[in-house]
């Protein structure tokens, strides 16, 4: 499974870790739903640490789409809400 | 299973990529079109890196000016203390505190900008590598497959690189927003520095009110002091020996 961390890398993560990542992602979703920046910061840091811990970076010259995309380090709740709210925000 | 943030974000990127794929009838044209976009994006990202570097350099210039200011205020405070003028020393230290607060603020912003700059540089390198890989695959597909066969072969490459460009585009927006904020702040700070409102000691001539107060406390400006020295020389020139010997004799007498 390929996971992109925005403004960082794509990581190749074993499919067996999906459940664990989904649980962390649920916490992140809940933080966004409750507009809780502190909880969001914690959940995002946990999720990114998990992905980097279990995944290996995809080489630069490999072109592959991601199954999951995560906000980058230090993203604000505001930025992420804006991304989710309007697909037109993603350039390219 | 609930659809979490990560899956929703991935879907948004895929929608974007699929739009690019749907655009042309011949998938090989999609590759050419995508490649053009990639080259444009590379140019934009490189320009973005240069813009962020320019903002950073301007911040560093201001940082230097402010540090000079803080140093001068510190030495003014020390001179005032030496002259027993705590009131002037206190004023100099208060201003130094205000300047130092600006320095700390700008320094943390500078570090944030350096971080963005580094990330954008890495993103540009990564995109460059992917564009190279894409070009190779494009040539292979064009040379080897018919339009119908090419369809399945290029889907992944086009949507994969479209995702990469989306990511790089976001990084660039973020960095440029930060840089624009810095520019605005830098402009405001430049005006403050120029007006002398923030710190008179930053004026190159150094004729600020603290300096004047120090000179007054010291008993006049350099010109006044030099004048006093000249006058003393003229006076001692008329009767130097008697005065000098008198004092020397008395000194010796006291030390014995």
- Predicted-complex ipTM score: 0.86
What is the Cα–Cα distance from B217 to B233, expressed in whole angstroms? 23
pLDDT tens digits for A43-54?
A: 999 999 999 999
CB within 8 A of A48, min separation 6: which ones?
A5, A70, A73
CB-closest option in B16, B125, B133 to A63: B133
pLDDT of residue B200: 46
CB within 8 A of B237, min separation 6: which ones?
none
Per-residue pLDDT at B162 exceeds 50: yes
Predicted structure pTM score: 0.73
What is the Cα–Cα distance from A60 to A69, expressed in whole angstroms? 17
Per-residue pLDDT at B217 exceeds 80: no
Higher pLDDT among residues B86 and B199, named by residue: B86
pLDDT tens digits for B86-138?
A: 998 998 899 899 899 989 988 998 998 898 899 999 999 999 999 999 999 88
pLDDT tens digits for B140-158?
A: 888 887 777 777 778 888 8
For B64, the enclosing helix (H) or strand (E) is: helix B27-82
Per-residue pLDDT at B242 exceeds 90: no
For A19-24, the CB contacts below 8 A with 24+ separation are: A20/A50, A21/A47, A21/A50, A21/A51, A21/A68, A21/B6, A22/B1, A22/B4, A24/A50
Contacts of A61 in chain B (CB under 8 A): 129-130, 132-133
Chain A residue whose CA is closest to B112 = A74
Contacts of A21 in chain B (CB under 8 A): 6
What the block records as the tokens of B38 is: 């990639």
What is the Cα–Cα distance from B88 to B90, expressed in whole angstroms? 5
What is the Cα–Cα distance from B95 to B201, expressed in whole angstroms? 9
- The full DSSP string for A37-84 is HHHHHHHHHHHHHHHHHH-EEPPTT-----SEEEPPTT--HHHHHHHH
What the block records as the tokens of B19 is: 């739009």
Contacts of A80 in chain B (CB under 8 A): 5
Per-residue pLDDT at B78 exceeds 90: yes
CB-closest option in A67, A84, A92 to B166: A92
In angstroms and rounded to an integer, the radius of gyration of the C-alpha atoms of chain A is 13
Chain A residue whose CA is closest to B17 = A92
Residue B203's Cβ-count burial label (10 Å; 0-12, 13-18, 19+) is: middle
Chain B residue whose CA is closest to A24 = B4
Q: Is the CB of residue B124 less than 8 Å away from at least one CB of chain A? A: no
Mutate which: A4, A63, A82, A87, vs B, most B CBs within 10 A = A63
Contacts of B171 in chain A (CB under 8 A): 6-7, 72
For B145, the enclosing helix (H) or strand (E) is: none
Check CB contact under 8 Å for A63 and B161.
yes
What the block records as the tokens of A45 is: 């840091």
pLDDT of residue B255: 45
Nearest to A13 by CA among A82, A24, B13: A24
Q: Is the CB of residue B39 less than 8 Å away from at least one CB of chain A? A: no
Check CB contact under 8 Å for B12 and A7.
no
Check CB contact under 8 Å for A26 and B4.
yes
Check CB contact under 8 Å for B10 and A62.
no
What is the Cα–Cα distance from B86 to B79, expressed in whole angstroms? 10
Q: Is the CB of residue B230 less than 8 Å away from at least one CB of chain A? A: no
Per-residue pLDDT at B51 exceeds 80: yes
Answer for the pair B9, A88: CB distance below 8 angstroms, yes or no. no
DSSP-derived letter for residue B219 is T
pLDDT of residue B143: 84
pLDDT tens digits for A2-49?
A: 999 998 999 999 999 888 888 898 899 889 889 999 999 999 999 999
Chain A residue whose CA is closest to B125 = A60
Confidence grade of residue B195 (pLDDT, cut at 50, 70, 90): low
Question: Residue A18, Cβ neighbours under 10 Å: how many?
Answer: 16
In chain B, positions 130-169, which contact chain A (CB-CB < 8 Å)? 130, 132-134, 137, 156-157, 159-169
């Amino acid at each position: 499974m390929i996971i992109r961390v925005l403004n960082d890398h794509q990581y190749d993560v074993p499919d067996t870790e999906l459940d664990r990542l989904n649980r962390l992602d649920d916490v992140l979703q809940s933080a966004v739903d409750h507009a809780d920046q502190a909880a969001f910061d914690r959940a995002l840091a946990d999720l990114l640490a998990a992905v980097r811990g279990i995944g290996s970076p995809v080489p630069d010259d490999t072109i592959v789409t991601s199954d999951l995309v995560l906000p980058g380090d230090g993203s604000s709740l505001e930025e992420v809400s804006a991304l989710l709210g309007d697909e037109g925000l993603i350039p390219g | 299973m609930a659809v979490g943030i990560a899956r929703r974000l991935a879907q948004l990127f895929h929608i974007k990529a699929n739009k690019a794929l749907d655009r042309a009838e011949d998938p090989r044209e999609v590759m050419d079109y995508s490649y053009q976009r990639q080259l444009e994006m590379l140019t934009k990202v490189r320009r973005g890196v240069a813009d962020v570097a320019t903002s950073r350099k301007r911040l560093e210039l201001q940082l230097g000016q402010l540090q000079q200011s803080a140093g001068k205020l510190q030495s003014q405070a020390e001179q005032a203390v030496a002259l027993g003028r705590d009131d002037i020393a206190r004023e100099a230290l208060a201003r130094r505190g205000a300047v130092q607060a600006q320095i700390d603020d700008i320094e943390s912003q500078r570090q944030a900008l350096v971080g963005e700059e580094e990330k954008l540089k890495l993103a540009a390198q990564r995109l460059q590598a992917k564009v190279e890989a894409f070009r190779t695959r494009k040539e292979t597909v064009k040379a080897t497959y018919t339009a119908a066969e090419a369809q399945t072969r290029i889907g992944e490459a086009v949507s994969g690189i479209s995702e990469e460009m989306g990511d790089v585009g976001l990084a660039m927006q973020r960095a440029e927003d930060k840089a624009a904020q810095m520019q605005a702040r830098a402009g405001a700070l430049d005006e403050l520095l120029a007006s002398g409102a923030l710190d008179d000691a930053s004026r190159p001539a150094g004729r600020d009110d603290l300096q004047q107060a120090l000179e007054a406390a010291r008993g006049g400006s350099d010109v006044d002091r030099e004048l006093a020295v000249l006058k003393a020389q003229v006076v001692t020139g008329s009767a130097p020996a008697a005065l000098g010997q008198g004092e020397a004799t008395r000194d010796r007498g006291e030390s014995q």
